[in-house]
């Protein structure tokens, strides 16, 4: 108790220096959290945009489809099959079926390569809120020949609501896939490349178009907890009765996205490392000054009978107090700041929109509030600052008492 009291009092004998050290830790935590939040926020948006609108977090396919992603390798899965998947795996909340193929899509005068996607609108919207991106018309009206197309495709084919779209391609096992459809809606797909190509139609209509009754390219598996998608995939792949199907995580299906995220994380890590080094040296500077200023006192204390390890405990406790206060204040300062940016993302301006759009990202910097990185960064900065305390502690153990007491 006496040592703690001494450490606490020592902390305030030079208030300015103490506050400088606390501020160093505070700003280290704050900046690290800010960077990490921005980085994770961007990644979360990237994953949401790309994953939710393409592969989903986990996906069930025919075993042949991964190597040959062709409609001929579409899996057979009717409504009963979809219900069975949910029943067999309690971790799965619901499934999102899709039948997809590439075909030519033509308006009055122009033809483009299009990505024809048969969906069950209700579950699709539940999964990725595609309906919120509808810009004109409706997401299906109940007709048997209707499509909702991307605004980019509509623009390039010069089509609008009520116009006809002709689709021509290859169906299941070489069948011809051709049809004329009414455009009933225009949707702004978040992935720009897909916005230029996307044609949505009701799943039964797509199965009919491609002559692929009860067939799906894949069945998206939506876990109750999105982060548990790996568990879902593992469970299915180990479950008897699913030998002809194979489940994948989005990381397996989108290795390029994983690489992009890893690259992004590496950049952030570099920034953080530089930050840690700069802040680390800042803290070290004040600790060094404190140590050198008090060497005489250390020498006297050892002279009168204080064991070196007890003196080291006092110094360790002082630094512990300072670092702990810095970390707590840093987190407390970061929370309102990050909350603000979470609800008010930073706009990068119009100039960045096109460039960012190419990567399927919005021209805003979004922030994450994932609690995981809060404690991760707090622990890292705390760890670094506690590592620095090894200097005065080592110094105490190596102190020449006579030289120190003479100063």
13 binds another protein (CB under 8 A): yes
C-alpha to C-alpha distance for 379 and 210, rounded to whole angstroms: 55
Q: Which residue has the tokens 């299009």?
A: 114
CB closer to another protein, 6 vs 77:
6
135 binds another protein (CB under 8 A): no
CB closer to another protein, 7 vs 378:
7
Instruction: Please identify which residue in 175, 278, 306, 325 interacts with another protein, judged by CB under 8 A.
Output: 306
CB closer to another protein, 25 vs 302:
302
Let me know if 67 is exposed, middle or buried by CB neighbors in 10 A (0-12, 13-18, 19+).
exposed
Stretch that binds another protein, among 86-94, 258-266, 338-346, 397-405 (CB under 8 A): 397-405
Tokens read off for 256: 């390029």
Instruction: Please identify which residue in 81, 161, 175, 300 interacts with another protein, judged by CB under 8 A.
Output: 300
Stretch that binds another protein, among 10-18, 36-44, 82-90, 115-123 (CB under 8 A): 10-18
403 binds another protein (CB under 8 A): no
Stretch that binds another protein, among 3-11, 21-29, 40-48, 146-154 (CB under 8 A): 3-11
For residues 44 and 261, is the Cβ–Cβ distance under 8 A?
no
- Smallest gap, in angstroms, from Cβ of residue 303 to another protein? 6
CB closer to another protein, 251 vs 318:
318
Stretch that binds another protein, among 1-9, 110-118, 348-356, 378-386 (CB under 8 A): 1-9
80 binds another protein (CB under 8 A): no
Residues 221-240 that bind another protein (CB under 8 A): none
CB closer to another protein, 9 vs 180:
9
106 to 158, 180, 284: CA distances (angstroms): 10, 9, 68
Report how many residues bind another protein under the rule CB under 8 A.
Answer: 21
CB closer to another protein, 87 vs 304:
304
296 binds another protein (CB under 8 A): yes
Question: Is the Cα torsion angle 373, 374, 380, 381 positive or negative in sign?
Answer: positive
Q: Which residues bind another protein (CB under 8 A)?
A: 2, 6, 9-10, 12-13, 296-297, 300-308, 310, 401-402, 405
């Amino acid at each position: 108790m006496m040592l703690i009291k001494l450490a606490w009092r020592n902390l305030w004998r030079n208030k300015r220096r103490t506050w400088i050290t606390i501020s160093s830790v505070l700003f280290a935590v704050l900046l690290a959290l800010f960077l990490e939040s921005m980085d994770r926020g961007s990644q979360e948006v990237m994953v949401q945009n790309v994953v939710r609108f393409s592969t989903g977090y986990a996906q069930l396919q025919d075993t042949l489809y991964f190597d040959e992603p062709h409609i001929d390798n579409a899996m057979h899965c009717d409504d009963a099959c979809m219900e069975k998947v949910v029943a067999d795996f309690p971790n799965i909340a619901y499934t999102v079926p899709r039948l997809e193929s590439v075909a030519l899509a033509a308006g009055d005068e122009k033809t483009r390569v299009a990505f024809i996607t048969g969906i069950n609108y209700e579950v699709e919207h539940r999964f990725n809120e595609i309906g919120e991106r509808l810009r004109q018309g409706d997401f299906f009206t109940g007709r048997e020949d209707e499509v909702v197309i991307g605004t980019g495709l509509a623009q390039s084919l010069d089509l609008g609501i009520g116009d006809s779209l002709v689709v021509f391609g290859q169906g299941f096992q070489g069948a011809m896939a051709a049809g004329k459809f009414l455009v009933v809606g225009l949707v702004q797909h978040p992935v720009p490349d897909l916005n230029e190509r996307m044609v949505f139609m009701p799943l039964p209509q797509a199965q009919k178009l491609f002559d692929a009754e009860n067939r799906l390219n894949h069945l998206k598996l939506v876990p109750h907890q999105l982060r548990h998608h790996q568990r879902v995939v593992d469970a299915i792949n180990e479950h008897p009765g699913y030998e002809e199907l194979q489940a994948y995580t989005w990381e397996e299906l989108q290795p390029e996205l994983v690489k992009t995220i890893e690259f992004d994380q590496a950049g952030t890590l570099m920034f953080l490392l530089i930050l840690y080094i700069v802040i680390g040296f800042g803290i070290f500077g004040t600790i060094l000054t404190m140590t050198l200023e008090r060497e005489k006192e250390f020498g006297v204390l050892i002279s009168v009978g204080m064991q070196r390890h007890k003196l080291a405990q006092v110094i360790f406790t002082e630094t512990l107090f300072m670092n702990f206060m810095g970390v707590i204040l840093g987190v407390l300062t970061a929370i309102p700041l990050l909350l603000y940016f979470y609800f008010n993302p930073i706009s990068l301006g119009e100039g960045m929109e096109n460039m960012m759009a190419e990567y399927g990202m919005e021209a805003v910097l979004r922030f994450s509030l994932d609690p995981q990185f809060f404690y991760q960064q707090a622990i890292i900065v705390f760890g670094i600052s506690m590592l620095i305390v090894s200097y005065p502690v080592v110094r105490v153990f190596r102190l020449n008492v006579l030289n120190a007491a003479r100063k």
